[in-house]
Structure formats: C-alpha cells, structure tokens
Chains A and B, each alone.
Chain A
C-alpha cells in the first residue's frame, strides 16, 4: 500500500500545508486537491486569477544537432514549422498509433527544446525517447526534479505577473514563451494553460520555487489571487473538453477518434505511428469523442455507461459537475451515428437513466488570448 512517505513532494508541499491545502496522492505525488473548495476555486480562475502548483508535471530537455530531427520523428505534430520561443501541443505515438503521451514542445532554438509531459508518464516518456534516439546526436535529460512549474490562470494573470517582470508580457503571444526573470529569478514564462482562460505556465528552478510562489501570492493580493488545487484544475479542463491522458487517450486509444487530428500532421516527414494513423484515417472513425451534457440533476463520473433509449452506446471517459454551467458534463466515445450535437442520450447514474444531450466541446467559450 502506498503511504504518504512513498509519495513525491513538490518544492511547495510545505507551503500548501501552510495555506490549508488538502493533500492527496496523485500520479505518485502528494498534491493539493483543494484549498478553499473546488467550486470557489473554479470560480476564482474563471472570474479573476488563480495559481496552481503543477510541479508534478515532467520536463525533458533535448539538445544537440539532431534534436530537431529526433523530436520530428517522435511527434505527430510538425516540429519543423516551429519558431524559436514557440510552444506546440502534440502527441507522441507508438507504431500502432496508440498514444504514449500528449505534451507540449517548447523550442529555444533549432537545436534546443524542452518538453512538458504528464506526471504519470514522465519516466515512460523519457525511456521511450532514449530508446528511439538510439545513437543520434542529442543530449536528453529528465529535468523534472530540478524544475518547478506554476500555472497562473485567469484574466488578471498578465497584470499580476507583470508586477514581477520587466519585459512586457503582452508581447508573449498564445503558445509562445520567453526566458525572463520573475522576482529576479530565471524563469521560462509560457502563455499556455489547461483552463481555457488567458494565463501563463511558468518554469523555475525547484530551489527558487517557494520564493517565486510567495512573491506571486503577495503581488496577487490586489487581484484576490488564490491557490488552486487539482480538483478545480480538472473541472476547468473538463469545461473546455480538453483531453486528459489516462482518461480520453492512452496507449490503446485512436487519437483521430479523440478529435486530435489537428495535431497529427500526416503529410510531414516520417514519424512513429504515421503509417498506422494514415490507415486509420483512410478507414474512417469507428467512434468519436463527444461532449455529453446532462439535462437533469446528477453528477456523471468516469466509466458510467451512456445509453440510447436504454441500450448502451458508450462509457464516459471523464465526467464531473460543471461549476460554471451548474450541471453535469462528460466526455464519451460513441459511434458516429450518435455523435451529432443535440443527439439525445442518457447517462446511467446508479439505477437512474438521466437524460443528456451531445454537445461539441468546449462546453463554454474559451477565453485564451489567441492572436
């Protein structure tokens, strides 16, 4: 049995305790699930600004003359199209098209990148990259333990962070980043996030994390900044219909069916999984990932069955109460005949069939700062 001593702590674990965070095991880490309460934290990010410790996320740095060609071979998205200081969402697939991980690639320069990967996959990804790199001329380092990651999300995030940085943050466009000091400590500031709000993800040395975190908390007082736990992180991402590795996608899933075709560039140079994904595309989707919104009371949860006139047509991959919509929402793979928005389905919650309708995610409009 896992005890708390087996769990990894982020550099901020003591601060979370001090702030009243309720710590729970997550992907091998001891992480705050909530501080004030999920509903209130969710609203804080939607209405103002919140800060998340996401230091459990993994970072992998790849540098060297072959860095670009290696990453291009590993990823489904087109790395060749990237500019310096740009971030790109991509999948890393196996030959059979199953997903090793979904992640962000950040390009410092043509020969130097870092990946931000899912906590639960960090070691697997690292080994996968090493294995596929063979003898290619690139240094691959797992820098997860020396790196802390903070997410500052919400409409006041720019004004707040600006108080601690010199360069104008308005110049950092969506899915771009900059090496910049925050409160005099070297950081990477990326305009990315997992909430659907404008915001930043900040990478700092683990040793400086607490000082930077406290400086942001302090600077955030005038914006009513609050620390946010993983509970609200999940409700925020669910409202956007963002895939979560382990729920919507995994090594068995077909990413085209998850609606992730936009990050699979079949026409680019050869990459792992290309042939199989091409084949899957030609065959067409057997099923599609759709949003499901309850039309009556109830809280949908992962693995609950989805029915059509009482007959099972799928199972929820994710489900939650949506604080913004005040109703239950979920994601589910269904055959194309049930995938049309407005299609009436039911979600089986214990012995009840609760009416629901198919929705095209996001469940509410995103407010990220697109160009």
Chain B
C-alpha cells in the first residue's frame, strides 16, 4: 500500500501536500481501497472556507457515504472538477489525478498535529487487523 513520504495524513485517511501557503488535499490509497468503487464526490465551493477537522465534502462508493475531513483549514482555491465526470480517478490515482481540493492555508501551525507517513502506515496496519 502506497503512503507517499512527502505528505501528511489525518486519522480519517485524508492526505495533504503542502507547497508554501498552498496545499492540496485528497484521500489515501488505503481509504480508496476500503471504500471500493467511488461513484460520487461532493466538492466544496471555490472561495469557501474549510476548517481543520470539519467535514468539507463527501465521497460515496456504491455502498457507502463518507465525509471528508479537512487536514487543515483555509480558503478553497480550486476543486478537482474532473471528479464530477470521473469520480473513479480517486480509486485509480488517489495521490495525483484523484486530488480533491486545493486550499490556501489559514494557519501552517495546524499541520503539526497531523500524522507523518510512518505513523499513518502504522495506523493503517492496525486497522487491517
């Protein structure tokens, strides 16, 4: 299972890739695998504010509905519109084409509370048992 080293993670299986003040958010390989075929992604509005730890969208597989929790707060700068027609990209490419939103970070200090790749891998391993 792929857990890229350059990302940070939440306990709820979102990842965040930080580049200066900007950050891109998606769900992990583990998450997409657990959810199964994703058929719908509900995206926030561009320009809206999301808050760390709060739901900002929804992913639905055939059988499940799951909230997306923001790894960090900020203003939504872009959303992955391609997921409207091709939600399955979250399954096939969770860390690249399946990205969900891009935000402008409100407070970089929030990133300190996130899981690093090793801790996140450990958590996934525990959940599988």
A231 CA to B37 CA, complexed, in Å: 11
Closest to B91 in A: A37
Which A residues touch B88, using CB under 8 A? 39
Which B residues touch A235, using CB under 8 A? 62
Which A residues touch B37, using CB under 8 A? 37-40
Residues B36 and A321 in contact, CB atoms below 8 Å apart: no
Majority secondary structure, A binding face: mixed
Residues B62 and A231 in contact, CB atoms below 8 Å apart: yes
Stretch at the interface among A86-94, A204-212, A250-258, A294-302: A294-302
Give the Cβ gap from B25 to chain A, nearest Cβ, in Å. Answer: 20
* Contact flag A38-B60 (CB < 8 Å), given A299-B65, A301-B65, A350-B42: no
Residues B65 and A323 in contact, CB atoms below 8 Å apart: no
A33 CA to B62 CA, complexed, in Å: 11
Residue-by-residue, is B52-77 near A (CB-CB < 8 Å gives 1, otherwise 0)? 00000010111101000000000000
A320 within 8 A of B: yes
Which B residues touch A350, using CB under 8 A? 42, 58
Which A residues touch B60, using CB under 8 A? 299, 321
A34 within 8 A of B: yes
B96 within 8 A of A: no
Give the Cβ gap from B39 to chain A, nearest Cβ, in Å. Answer: 4
A150 CA to B84 CA, complexed, in Å: 37
A329 CA to B58 CA, complexed, in Å: 19
* Contact flag A321-B39 (CB < 8 Å), given A38-B63, A231-B63, A301-B65: yes
B40 within 8 A of A: yes
Residues A37 and B39 in contact, CB atoms below 8 Å apart: no
- Residue among B36, B58, B84 making CB contact with A37, cutoff 8 Å: B36
Which B residues touch A320, using CB under 8 A? 62
Within 8 A of A (CB), among B30-54: 36-37, 39-40, 42
Residues A298 and B40 in contact, CB atoms below 8 Å apart: yes
A350 CA to B37 CA, complexed, in Å: 21
Closest to A349 in B: B42
Which A residues touch B63, using CB under 8 A? 33, 38, 231
How many B residues have CB within 8 A of the partner chain? 13
Give the Cβ gap from B56 to chain A, nearest Cβ, in Å. Answer: 13
* Contact flag A39-B62 (CB < 8 Å), given A34-B36, A297-B40, A299-B40: yes
Within 8 A of A (CB), among B85-117: 88
A323 CA to B87 CA, complexed, in Å: 13
A41 CA to B42 CA, complexed, in Å: 25
Which B residues touch A37, using CB under 8 A? 36-37
Within 8 A of B (CB), among A287-334: 297-299, 301, 320-321, 323
Within 8 A of B (CB), among A219-271: 231, 235
Which A residues touch B65, using CB under 8 A? 299, 301
* Contact flag A38-B40 (CB < 8 Å), given A297-B84, A320-B62, A323-B62: no
Which A residues touch B40, using CB under 8 A? 297-299, 321
A33 CA to B63 CA, complexed, in Å: 9
Give the Cβ gap from B50 to chain A, nearest Cβ, in Å. Answer: 16
Within 8 A of B (CB), among A18-33: 22, 33
Which B residues touch A321, using CB under 8 A? 39-40, 60, 62
Closest to B40 in A: A299
A297 CA to B38 CA, complexed, in Å: 13
Give the Cβ gap from B88 to chain A, nearest Cβ, in Å. Answer: 8
Which B residues touch A299, using CB under 8 A? 39-40, 60, 62, 65
Closest to B87 in A: A297
Which A residues touch B39, using CB under 8 A? 39, 299, 321
Q: What 9 new A-B contacts, CB under 8 Å, besides A37-B36, A299-B60, A350-B58?
A: A37-B37, A38-B37, A38-B63, A39-B37, A39-B62, A231-B62, A298-B40, A299-B65, A321-B39
Return 27 A-B CB contacts under 8 Å, by A number.
A22-B36, A33-B63, A34-B36, A38-B36, A38-B61, A38-B63, A39-B37, A39-B62, A39-B88, A40-B37, A231-B36, A231-B62, A231-B63, A235-B62, A297-B84, A298-B40, A299-B39, A299-B60, A299-B65, A301-B65, A320-B62, A321-B39, A321-B40, A321-B62, A323-B62, A350-B42, A350-B58
Q: Which residues of B come within 8 Å of A, CB atoms?
A: 36-37, 39-40, 42, 58, 60-63, 65, 84, 88
The 10 closest A-B pairs by CB, nearest first: A39-B37, A38-B62, A321-B39, A299-B60, A299-B40, A37-B37, A321-B62, A231-B63, A38-B37, A37-B36
